[in-house]
Amino acid sequence: MSSRSAHLVALVAVLVAFAGTSSAQSVPRVVALAPLSTLGTEDTSASTKKLTSQLEAAIAALPGTKVVTSAQVVEAIKRAKKPQLKVCERDPACLAELGKLVGASVVIDGEVGGLGDSKVVYLAATDTASGQELRSTTLSVGAKLDAGGGPPGAAVRLLEPDRYRGVLRFVIDAKGATVYVNGTKVALGAKNEIALPVGTQAVRVTHPEYRDFVRFIEVPYNRTTDISVGMTAYPIIKHDLQGKPINSDTVLYIDPPWYRRPLFVAGGGVLLTVATAVIVAIIVNEPLDNCRKVGGGACD
């Protein structure tokens, strides 16, 4: 084989391999939504049917994902004559069999709880090949769109948790400030924005000449939240710049008792000296006329 032919064969092999890789990458992920159940039976209420449609739309909206609808799952169960697969109740073996039946790599099932239109749905995603539960989450029904993002947020939590984020946009009134999130220094984007996991985040903004701005911020899914940061200057900065330092020291003078004061001690010493001199003078000059004779002797 000539060198030219060898090069052509090698080129064809590379193209075939590339085409096979591209075909493998273009195959969509197939996710089946099992019928939602309540107390072991399929929930056919109007609110649950509406939620099912919303979940199917949210799953289909994920990049590279194809959804097997709940209705298609029920039809496949009827054709296979396997009614036991209609409500698996989180049984891994049942869900794995259901996934293989409809050709899905992941099966999502859910249990509906609550009363009336205010309900909570417990959802789980199970891998068909291994029969293992991948992730689980809860979804509120009948409430306003909360920080969790409703059905779209639930679909992301189950299938692509790394994309379950929101954005904080900072408006800071001091240049040169540093931002920390949960104790870690972060770099803001061109619009002073940063994407963070959904939930409560501890935010601190610092600056050498201002007091720290500290808040706990709730980050909602797939939304941008504006954070207005008003920095407050330290009072001591102004005084230092004017050359008038603040002296907060206080000196307290306490007078000693009257008998320990210097004037009294000195005066007391003088008085004691005078008194001693008077006593000595009296003793020396006083005549001894009070002598009495003892045993017939005479006084000197």
**Cβ–Cβ under 8 Å, residues 227 and 169:** yes
- Cα(203)–Cα(185) distance, integer angstroms: 10
Q: Percent of the chain having pLDDT more than 70? A: 66
- With vertex at residue 138, the alpha carbon angle to CA 126 and CA 166, rounded to the nearest 5 degrees, is 100
pLDDT tens digits, residue range 252-277?
Answer: 555 666 555 555 445 555 444 545 55
CA–CA distance from 199 to each of 31, 165, 221, 247 (Å)? 27, 9, 9, 45
89, pLDDT greater than 90 = no
Q: Output the pLDDT for position 9.
A: 47
217, pLDDT greater than 50 = yes
Q: Per-residue confidence at 162, pLDDT binned at 50, 70, 90?
A: very high
Kindly tell me the number of DSSP H helices and DSSP E strands found in the chain.
7, 14
Q: Per-residue confidence at 160, pLDDT binned at 50, 70, 90?
A: very high
Q: For the chain, what are the domain ranges?
A: 27-163, 165-241
Cα radius of gyration (the chain): 46
Q: Per-residue confidence at 16, pLDDT binned at 50, 70, 90?
A: very low
Phi and psi at residue 292, to the nearest 5°: -120, 145
The CATH number of 27-163 is which of 3.40.50.10610, 3.40.1160.10, 3.30.750.24, 3.40.190.10? 3.40.50.10610
Q: Output the pLDDT for position 14.
A: 44
pTM, entire model: 0.65
Residue in this structure with the two tokens 């061109």, named with its chain if needed: 190
pLDDT tens digits, residue range 93-135?
Answer: 999 999 999 999 999 999 998 766 678 899 999 999 999 999 9
The CATH number of 165-241 is which of 3.40.50.300, 2.40.420.20, 2.60.40.1120, 3.40.980.10? 2.60.40.1120
- Cα(223)–Cα(219) distance, integer angstroms: 8
- Cα(59)–Cα(154) distance, integer angstroms: 9
Of 52-56, 125-129, 148-152, least confident by mean pLDDT is 148-152
- Collapse the DSSP code of 221 into the 3-class scheme (helix H, G, I; strand E, B; otherwise coil) and give the result: coil
**Sheet (strand 199-207) strand order:** 184-186, 178-181, 199-207, 210-219
